Amino acid sequence: MRTAAELEAKLSEPTPELIEDLRSLDGDIIILGVGGKVGPSLARLAKRAIDEGGLDKKVIGVSRFSSGTLREELEADGIETIAADLLDPAEVAKLPDVKNVIYMVGYKFGTVGNEHMTWAMNTMVAGQVARKYMNSRIMAYSSGNIYPFMPLSSGGADENVEPSPTGEYAMSCLGRERMFDYFSRAHNTPVVHYRLNYAVDLRYGVLVDIAQLVKAGKPVDLKMGAVNCIWQGDANVYALRALKLCEAPAKILNVTGPETISVRWAAEEFAKRFGTTAQFVGEEGTTALLNNSGQAHKLFGYPRVTLGQMMDWVVEWIEAGGELLNKPTGFQETEGKF
């Protein structure tokens, strides 16, 4: 893959299982927050699965669409779009009634010094949307950041581990879940909390962050000594298939790849591929933010794209001068300050 078009085509490849799951769901799909990093490829995946399955469903993407050409690009791909400010309850109320809701609205970077906006975006909007769509299925993106730091040998936090968020961003992510929890319990709204970390697209992601540092000869911070990640195309398939799992009270689903990845090992592997030497700063701790996705793998199977394949693609992309979003994940952050 050398171009954004080739990457988008790869990210939006549906599986037969996804097509069959969507066939069994009644109603259209609305994606709230489609303008973020993940939203466009998720919308295209849903549309391709519907088209390839010959299904009678629409995909609707909602975002501010305040700049750029994304709205036109999505509509060219057959995705209906609505421009709306989801902070405005009047605009939320005007949204169409749709049976299947994928909630992707979130605010992470810029939290420090702007905490009020973080809480408004991550909790108030969720409450407004939950009220609007209390009679729909809601598959709500969340984050593994809400878990406590886990021992490197633990295999990561599974869905039974109690949240213990570090920092205001992670606390607001738990607040977002609690808004949906309230409506799920009070109004029997079927919900899934989709706790993801970290999705990898060749334009961004934790592997891209590490590879860029190695390529540039800059030190890789080892404070967060291990991470999890999953190919975004696989995470998107899981997200759409998770609509079938929505239940009341809300269900929790962790999503990531099967490996606990040593940051030092990943940097050294990238160095081999680039023909250079990895530089490091800091010392590995004994704990890290780690997510155990065993339940998702049992339900949906292992990711199609392996860790080694992701790393090879990242190297090829960077060496070819592929487009980068320049939005680091901040995976090194141990104090929750984003």
Render 227-296 in DSSP notation, one character per residue: E--EEHHHHHHHHHHGGGG-BSSPEEEEE--S--EEHHHHHHHHHHHHTS---EES---SEE--B--HHH
User: Domains, the chain, ranges and CATH?
Assistant: 4-148+158-199+231-256+292-299 (3.40.50.720)
Distance CA 202, CA 321 (A): 11
Report, as an integer, the average pLDDT of 96-102.
Answer: 98
How much is the pLDDT for 169?
93
Confidence of residue 67 (pLDDT cuts 50, 70, 90): confident
Confidence of residue 335 (pLDDT cuts 50, 70, 90): confident
Model's pTM, two decimal places?
0.96
Share of the chain above pLDDT 90, in %: 90
How much is the pLDDT for 33?
97
Share of the chain above pLDDT 70, in %: 100
Confidence of residue 213 (pLDDT cuts 50, 70, 90): very high
How much is the pLDDT for 241?
98
Report, as an integer, the average pLDDT of 110-119.
Answer: 85
How much is the pLDDT for 285?
87
Residue 109 has pLDDT above 80, yes or no: no
Distance CA 257, CA 259 (A): 6
Report, as an integer, the average pLDDT of 50-77.
Answer: 96
**By C-alpha distance, which of 213, 193, 338 is closest to 271?**
213
Residues 166-189: pLDDT tens digits? Answer: 999 999 999 999 999 999 999 999
How much is the pLDDT for 108?
80
Residue 111 has pLDDT above 80, yes or no: no
Whole-Å CA distances, 305 to 201, 222, 235, 297, 323: 12, 26, 10, 13, 21
Could you check whether the bond before residue 198 is cis, i.e. omega within 30 degrees of 0? yes
How much is the pLDDT for 140?
98
Is pLDDT larger for residue 328 or for residue 258?
Answer: 258
**Token digits of residue 99:** 């049976």
CB 197 within 8 A of CB 206: no
Residue 110 has pLDDT above 80, yes or no: no
Residues 265-299: pLDDT tens digits? Answer: 999 999 999 999 999 999 998 999 999 999 999 99
Report, as an integer, the average pLDDT of 310-326.
Answer: 95
Task: For tokens 């599974």, name the residue.
Answer: 158
Confidence of residue 311 (pLDDT cuts 50, 70, 90): very high
Residue 22 has pLDDT above 90, yes or no: yes
Residue 326 has pLDDT above 80, yes or no: yes
Confidence of residue 138 (pLDDT cuts 50, 70, 90): very high
Confidence of residue 338 (pLDDT cuts 50, 70, 90): confident
Report, as an integer, the average pLDDT of 7-19.
Answer: 97
